[in-house]
Amino acid sequence: MNTMRRITIVALVMALVAIPTAAFALDDAATDTEPVVTDLPIRDAVRDAVTDHRERDLSAIKARALETINKQLEALSRLRAAIGNSRHITGAHSGQLLGDIGRATGGLESLARRIEAATTLEELRELIEQIDDFKIKQVLAPKTHQVIASDSLVYATGKLERFAEKLETVIARFEEAGYDVDEATSLLEEMKEHTSEGYRLGAPVAGNVIGLQASDWPDPAEGILTSGRADLRAAGGNVKSAHHNGVAIVKFLRSLTDGTDVDLGRSDVAPTDS
User: If you average pLDDT over residues 215-233, what whole number do you get?
Assistant: 98
Neighbouring C-alpha atoms within 13 Å toward the C-beta of 125: 4
- Enclosing domain of residue 40: 2-132
Q: What pLDDT shows up at residue 268?
A: 41
Distance CA 212, CA 231 (A): 17
Can you tell me the mean pLDDT for 118-141?
Answer: 96
109 in the same domain as 213: no
137 domain-assigned: no
Task: Specify if 163 maps to a domain.
Answer: yes
Residue 235 lies in a domain: yes
Element (H, E) at 159: helix 141-176
Query: Above 50 in pLDDT, residue 264?
Result: no
Is the domain of 85 the same as that of 171?
A: no
Give the residue, 2 or 131, on which the prediction is more confident. Answer: 131
Predicted confidence (pLDDT) at residue 254 exceeds the cutoff of 60: yes
Would you put residue 263 in left (φ > 0), alpha (ψ -120 to 50) or beta?
beta
- Same domain flag for 92 and 169: no
- 244 and 156 within one domain: yes
- For residue 25, being part of any structural domain is answered with yes
Does one domain contain both 125 and 179? Answer: no
Determine how many CB atoms are found less than 10 A away from the CB of residue 185: 17
Task: Tell whether 124 and 153 lie within a shared domain.
Answer: no
The number of domains in the chain is 2
Q: Do 179 and 260 belong to one domain? A: yes
Q: Do 76 and 8 fall into the same domain?
A: yes
Residue bearing the bigger pLDDT, 50 or 155: 155
Residue 71 has pLDDT above 60, yes or no: yes
Final residue of a structural domain among 70, 103, 132: 132
In the predicted model, what is the mean pLDDT of residues 68-83?
Answer: 98
Give 22 or 184, the one with higher predicted confidence: 184
Tell me the CB-side half-sphere exposure of residue 162, using CA atoms within 13 A: 12
Average pLDDT, integer, range 49-65: 77
Phi/psi class of residue 220: alpha, beta or left (left: φ > 0; alpha: ψ in -120 to 50)? Answer: alpha
Mean pLDDT of 180-206: 98
pLDDT of residue 53: 54
Distances (CA, A) of 104 to 108, 222, 228, 261: 6, 19, 23, 61
For residue 168, tell me if it sits in a domain: yes
In a domain, 190, yes or no: yes
Checking if the pLDDT of 199 tops 80, the result is yes
Q: Examine the domain organization and report whether 117 and 155 are in the same domain.
A: no
Same domain? 114 vs 162? no
Residue ending a domain, among 132, 165, 195, is 132
pTM, two decimal places? 0.76
The DSSP element (H or E) to which 249 belongs, if any, is helix 221-257
Residue that is last in its domain, among 104, 132, 160: 132
Cα separation, 70 vs 262, in Å, equals 61
Co-location of 200 and 225 in the same domain: yes
| Long-range Cβ contacts of 67-70 (<8 Å, 24+ apart) | 68/131, 69/108, 69/111, 69/112, 69/115, 69/131
Q: Is residue 274 part of a domain?
A: no
Q: Are residues 92 and 147 in the same domain?
A: no
